[in-house]
Amino acid sequence: MADQAALRAIVSGLVQGVMFRAFVSRHASVLGISGFTRNLPDGTVEVIAEGNRRDLETLVEKLKQGPPHAIVENVAVVWSDYTGKHAGFTIRY
């Protein structure tokens, strides 16, 4: 499907301990995006997401904003082909 895509985003800044993963999960679910988010040991948050490219672009804009107590310094996004291997959107611990 030409309008389907996938991405991996690494969000840096003050993004752990500020409900960032819950924020991502909530927005991804509303947008109908599948995948997961998790904290990485270096203090960043990883987002793996698949869905409609327009919805993914909307999610990336949300990642740049973050929840109220977050300070997002950078969102590095790598786009790839849709695989369909994720069911729903989860928070990994």
* Cα separation, 68 vs 57, whole angstroms: 20
Residue 21 has pLDDT above 70, yes or no: yes
CATH code of the domain containing 66: 3.30.70.100
Q: What is the pLDDT of residue 1?
A: 54
Is residue 8 assigned to a domain? yes
Is residue 90 assigned to a domain? no
Q: What is the pLDDT of residue 4?
A: 97
On whether the pTM is more than 0.95, the answer is yes
* Cα separation, 93 vs 31, whole angstroms: 22
Q: H or E stretch including 8?
A: strand 4-14
Residue 2 has pLDDT above 90, yes or no: no
Confidence of residue 15 (pLDDT cuts 50, 70, 90): very high
- The three-point CA angle 47-57-24 to 5° equals 35
Range of the domain at 57: 4-83
Once rounded to an integer, what is the mean pLDDT over residues 53-57?
97
Q: Cα dist. 61→21, 42, 64, 85 in Å?
A: 15, 22, 5, 24
Is residue 66 assigned to a domain? yes
Catalytic machinery residues: 21, 39
